[in-house]
């Protein structure tokens, strides 16, 4: 019962985003033991940003990108042409499924794809537009 109460208290503090000692102190009932109240508040304040970050990290979300890797190959021949020099890019994305669903054993899958130069140019164009929009939003 004690643990559950403590748990509720900390969840409430994290949910509301309370950062000031007074706010947390005001949560305790009137006749609560003074020193215990201060001690608990102090501990909660110390941990609050770590708890907030963890809560954010374990939110439900679409699968998340965890890592990416690339390499550039040059295709020199194939069964339709015996001599050519076409550069191509191989991109590998490591994707982690929804953290909330996986619990303690997150599933990470690797997705490898091939991009031609044109595809890469188009992609960079799109990414550039995203960057411009982001800076427009940030500057508002």
Residues of the shown chain interacting with other proteins in the complex, contacts defined by CB under 8 A: 11, 14-17, 52, 55-56, 58-65, 68, 70, 72, 74-75, 78, 80-91, 93, 95, 111-117, 119-124, 126-128, 130-131, 133-134
Query: If you ran DSSP here, which 8-state letter would residue 25 be given?
Result: H
Give whichever of 35 and 112 is closer to other proteins, judged by the CB atom: 112
Give whichever of 3 and 60 is closer to other proteins, judged by the CB atom: 60
Give whichever of 11 and 33 is closer to other proteins, judged by the CB atom: 11
Task: Give the 3-state secondary structure of residue 84.
Answer: coil
Residue 4 Cβ, how far from other proteins at the closest point, in Å? 17
The answer to whether 24 and 44 have CB atoms below 8 angstroms apart is yes
The answer to whether 77 and 84 have CB atoms below 8 angstroms apart is yes
Pairing of strands 64-75, 86-96: antiparallel
């Amino acid at each position: 019962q004690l643990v559950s109460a403590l748990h509720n208290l900390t969840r409430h503090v994290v949910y509301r985003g309370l950062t000031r000692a007074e706010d947390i102190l005001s949560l305790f009932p009137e006749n609560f033991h003074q020193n215990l109240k201060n001690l608990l508040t102090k501990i909660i304040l110390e941990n609050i940003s770590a708890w907030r970050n963890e809560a954010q990290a374990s939110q439900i979300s679409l699968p998340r990108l965890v890592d990416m890797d690339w390499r550039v190959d040059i295709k020199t021949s194939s069964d339709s042409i015996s001599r050519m020099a076409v550069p191509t890019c191989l991109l590998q994305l490591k994707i982690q499924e929804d953290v909330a669903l996986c619990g303690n054993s997150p599933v990470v899958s690797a997705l490898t794809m091939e991009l031609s130069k044109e595809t890469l140019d188009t992609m960079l164009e799109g990414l550039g537009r995203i960057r411009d929009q982001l800076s427009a939003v940030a500057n508002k």
